[in-house]
């Protein structure tokens, strides 16, 4: 009987006590994978970790534990890739789930397409309002992934797998601290020749309390993240889309500061918006700023 393929799964986590049950659930979905030997590489990142939970993770012989001081997904993915000893690797957020045959399905797809360095699958988005399929038309994505990306991000966290020999840790070195999936989608298309599989393999949970994407820092940091994406060697249409997205994010910063009654910051962001691509569309926002100043 042939031995099972070993697949490494990087699981970045802050190892917070309040997320312990979610982390155990995510790891259970990795360790119960059918048709492969799944190896969780849990990367504990940041200083606010729960020592008891870290000890629990480190005591499990099925888990490879890596600890790094800095918080953040990019550093965790890079450290996990450096520790990778399997032929294939993927990742899974600590509050998400793999479906039972997720990894075997991806291995089969890549073995059938040796010219491809990565595979991207479909998945389910689960929240308070229920569950839905993430990508309605994966064939559309496969035909023109960069154009499809401008219409909606087709890469869910945990929906991809790479050949380890094709992707080094350097892929993650320039990843911004947010919009990680947009960055990774761009890099996979630009450098890995991905194939696309219209089969759900992951469940992405959107209603986890304390998620970074719900924070004030995330909302105000999108502009910087988009500027980092614009440093990539992108085709013109993709660059124009990101520039327009940056303009919208700048306007959102201005609006956010106005609602906080921080008028000086709101004016600064509004001026940056006006001089950016398509920023003139937000010119009427100046009236709100003037009215707010008069009410002081």
User: What is the domain-level CATH number for residue 187?
Assistant: 3.90.550.10
Displacement of CA 124 from its chain's centroid (Å): 15
Of the candidates 80, 91, 198, 184, the residue with the CA atom closest to the CA atom of residue 141 = 198
Of the candidates 208, 207, 203, 214, the residue with the CA atom closest to the CA atom of residue 127 = 207
Q: What is the pLDDT of residue 220?
A: 84
Shared domain for 66 and 184, answered yes or no, is yes
Shared domain for 11 and 117, answered yes or no, is yes
Shared domain for 248 and 196, answered yes or no, is no
Q: What is the pLDDT of residue 209?
A: 65
The DSSP code sequence of 147-199 is HHHHHS----TT-EEEEGGG--GGGGTT--SS-HHHHHHHHHHHHT--EEEEE
Displacement of CA 67 from its chain's centroid (Å): 20
| Bridge partners of residue 133, in order along the sequence | 124
Shared domain for 221 and 200, answered yes or no, is no
Q: How many C-beta atoms lie closer than 10 Å to residue 153's C-beta?
A: 15
Q: What is the pLDDT of residue 169?
A: 85
Q: Tell which of 195, 212, 229 closes a domain.
A: 212
Shared domain for 262 and 164, answered yes or no, is no
Q: What is the pLDDT of residue 2?
A: 56
Among all chains, which residue has been given the structure tokens 């940041």?
46
Q: Which residues fall within 8 angstroms of residue 102, CB to CB, at 6 or more apart?
A: 33, 121, 201, 202
Q: What is the pLDDT of residue 212?
A: 59
Q: Which residues fall within 8 angstroms of residue 146, CB to CB, at 6 or more apart?
A: 186, 189, 235, 237, 238
- Rounded CA gap, 124 and 92, in Å? 14
CA distances for 226 relative to 16, 73, 220, 232, 240, angstroms? 28, 16, 11, 10, 12
Render pLDDT for 66-107 as a digit per residue (tens, 0 to 9). 999 999 999 999 999 999 999 999 999 999 999 999 999 999
Q: What is the pLDDT of residue 3?
A: 75
Shared domain for 20 and 40, answered yes or no, is yes
Shared domain for 208 and 220, answered yes or no, is no
Shared domain for 56 and 82, answered yes or no, is yes
Shared domain for 290 and 159, answered yes or no, is no
Shared domain for 206 and 220, answered yes or no, is no
Straight-line distance from the first to the last Cα atom of the chain, in angstroms, rounded to the nearest whole number:
78
**In the chain, beta strands by DSSP E:** 5-13, 36-45, 64-68, 88-91, 97-98, 118-127, 130-133, 160-163, 195-205
| Bridge partners of residue 200, in order along the sequence | 122
Whole domain around residue 288: which residue ranges? 215-295
Q: Report which DSSP code applies to 214.
A: G
- Please say whether the beta carbons of 42 and 11 come within 8 A: yes
Q: Specify the number of domains making up the chain.
A: 2
Q: Tell which of 143, 178, 212 closes a domain.
A: 212
Of the candidates 54, 59, 48, the residue with the CA atom closest to the CA atom of residue 23 = 54
Residues with pLDDT less than 70, the chain: 1-2, 209-215
Shared domain for 207 and 221, answered yes or no, is no
Q: Tell which of 171, 190, 212 closes a domain.
A: 212
Shared domain for 72 and 36, answered yes or no, is yes
Q: How many C-beta atoms lie closer than 10 Å to residue 144's C-beta?
A: 12
Hey, what are 193's tokens?
Answer: 């020749």
């Amino acid at each position: 009987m042939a031995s099972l393929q070993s697949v490494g799964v990087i699981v970045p986590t802050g190892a917070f006590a309040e997320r312990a049950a979610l982390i155990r659930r995510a790891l259970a979905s990795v360790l119960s994978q059918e048709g492969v030997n799944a190896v969780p590489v849990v990367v504990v990142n940041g200083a606010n970790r729960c020592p008891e939970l870290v000890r629990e993770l480190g005591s499990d012989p099925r888990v490879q534990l890596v600890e790094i001081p800095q918080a953040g997904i990019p550093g965790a993915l890079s450290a996990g890739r450096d520790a990778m000893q399997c032929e294939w690797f993927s990742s899974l957020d600590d509050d998400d789930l793999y479906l039972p045959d997720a990894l075997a399905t991806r291995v089969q797809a890549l073995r059938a397409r040796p010219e491809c360095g990565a595979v991207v699958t479909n998945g389910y988005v689960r929240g308070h309002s229920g569950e839905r399929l993430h990508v309605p038309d994966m064939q559309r994505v496969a035909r023109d992934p960069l154009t499809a990306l401008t219409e909606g991000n087709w890469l869910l966290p945990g929906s991809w797998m790479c050949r380890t020999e094709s992707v080094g840790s350097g892929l993650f070195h320039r990843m911004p601290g947010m919009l990680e999936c947009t960055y990774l989608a761009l890099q996979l298309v630009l450098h890995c020749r991905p194939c696309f599989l219209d089969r759900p393999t992951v469940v992405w949970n959107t209603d986890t309390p304390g998620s970074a994407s719900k924070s004030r820092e995330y909302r105000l940091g999108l502009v910087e993240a988009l500027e980092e994406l614009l440093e990539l060697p992108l085709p013109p249409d993709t660059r124009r889309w990101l520039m327009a997205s940056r303009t919208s994010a700048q306007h959102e910063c201005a609006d956010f500061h106005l609602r906080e009654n921080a008028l000086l910051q709101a004016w600064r962001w509004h001026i940056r918006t006006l001089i950016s691509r398509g920023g003139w569309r937000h010119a009427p926002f100046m009236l709100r700023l003037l009215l707010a100043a008069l009410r002081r």
